[in-house]
A and B are shown apart, each in its own frame.
Chain A
Amino acid sequence: MKKQQNEPEIPDFLQDLKAKGDGFQLPDGYFDDMENAVFARLKSAGDLDKPMIRVENRPKMWASFIRPKAAMAYAAALVMVLAAVWFVRQQTEQLPQAPVASVELSEEELEAYVLDNAHEFEPEQLASLEPEEMPEETYDQPVETGGKSAKRKKVDIHPDDLDAILDEMTDEELEQIL
């Protein structure tokens, strides 16, 4: 045995045993009989009558482009993809124009719509509205008080109680609110 670097050692008794052989024997002419047996089994299973399964080199990607059928398939797929992209782009360009172009709204109607659907707008968009016209929901936005972020609480006050509250407030407090 050719000695290799850092090769694990084989004990002497195994080296001696190897010289004796492994004790395995096989019948004379076994391999020819085995081949015949394999073909007999293939024949009885009908494998020899079936169309041959040929060993083929797997086609490379580029090679498939030069075959007519494959090239047509690739071309058809490309056309379909391009058509789909064109169709989707057409649809997305048309969508936002339709409702705006067909309906004319007054300024009051637009403001009423915005106030009724304030939750659907960004705070920046609502900020462009007049302060007194801000919807109730916007009071939930954080306000800066003394450098700390806090939320102004919504208080449900009955209209009958409002006059009493205002009477109790000092002039300074009223000025702060106004």
Chain B
Amino acid sequence: MVASKPVSDEQILELLRSGHTYERGFRLLMAQYRERLYWHIRRLVQVHDDADDVLQNTFIKVYRGIGQFEGKSKLYTWLYRIATNEAITHMQQKMRQASSSLDDGEGLLAQRLQADSWFDGDEVQRKLQVAIAQLPDKQKQVFNLRYYEEMPYEEMSQLLDTSVGALKASFHHAVKKIELAFTDADS
């Protein structure tokens, strides 16, 4: 690990601006944001190997495209959007590949978690992850940010470029769908 203490975005960007310190700046960027990005991606794709692929692809895109970062938003916001797009595209490809062999999306998601050696949750935890995976992409992001990361709606509003009211509505709908998934499974 390169960075033991947090560094500011400005410090990272300053290092990235110079050819001599570019690589060091990029390593600091990865060290600063890799964990946060990993868990965001992992909760979207759920399987560790997929999360690893998506995270690596995200950083490679960041390396190649950091010159396009205009500094109009926070660095994490830019990274988060790249990671989200990568994760969603990755999942769409996975689901397309698997849809011919398994018609049931819920069954496919449960099977993926079952096969992941880096998931040790019980039946209820697996059921929750399957219910989350079936949410629409935006609701999934809002639910994860609020439920797992406990992100305030105001911060989430900047990150997702969505109004606070719309985010609360998305979270409400997501919770209702998850409740329904558990109710249906019990009955």
Contacts and interface: CB of A to CB of B under 8 A. Distances in A.
Interface string A21-52: 11111110011101101100110010110011
Given A22-B121, A38-B60, A55-B13, A31 B38 contact: yes
B19 to A, nearest CB: 5
Contacts of A54: 16-19, 22, 67
Nearest to B12: A55
Name which of B17, B63, B71 has the most chain A CB atoms within 10 A of its CB.
B63
Contact of B152 (A2, A13, A47): A2
Given A8-B168, A25-B118, A26-B48, A55 B34 contact: no
A89 interface: no
B179 A11 contact: yes
B64 A14 contact: no
B91 interface: no
A9 B147 CA distance: 11
Given A31-B38, A35-B30, A58-B70, A11 B125 contact: no
Interface of B (DSSP majority class) = helix
A17 B179 CA distance: 12
A21 B152 CA distance: 20
A35 B66 contact: no
B35 interface: yes
B66 A18 contact: no
B31 to A, nearest CB: 7
Nearest to A16: B124
B1 A37 contact: no
B120 interface: yes
Contact of A47 (B55, B56, B63): B63
Interface residues of A, number: 41
Given A20-B125, A54-B18, A56-B17, A14 B175 contact: yes
A26 B51 CA distance: 10
A47 B147 CA distance: 38
Contact of B168 (A6, A18, A53): A6
A6 to B, nearest CB: 7
A10 B71 contact: no
B1 A24 contact: no
Contact of A23 (B22, B69, B122): B122
Given A53-B66, A54-B16, A55-B69, A24 B30 contact: no
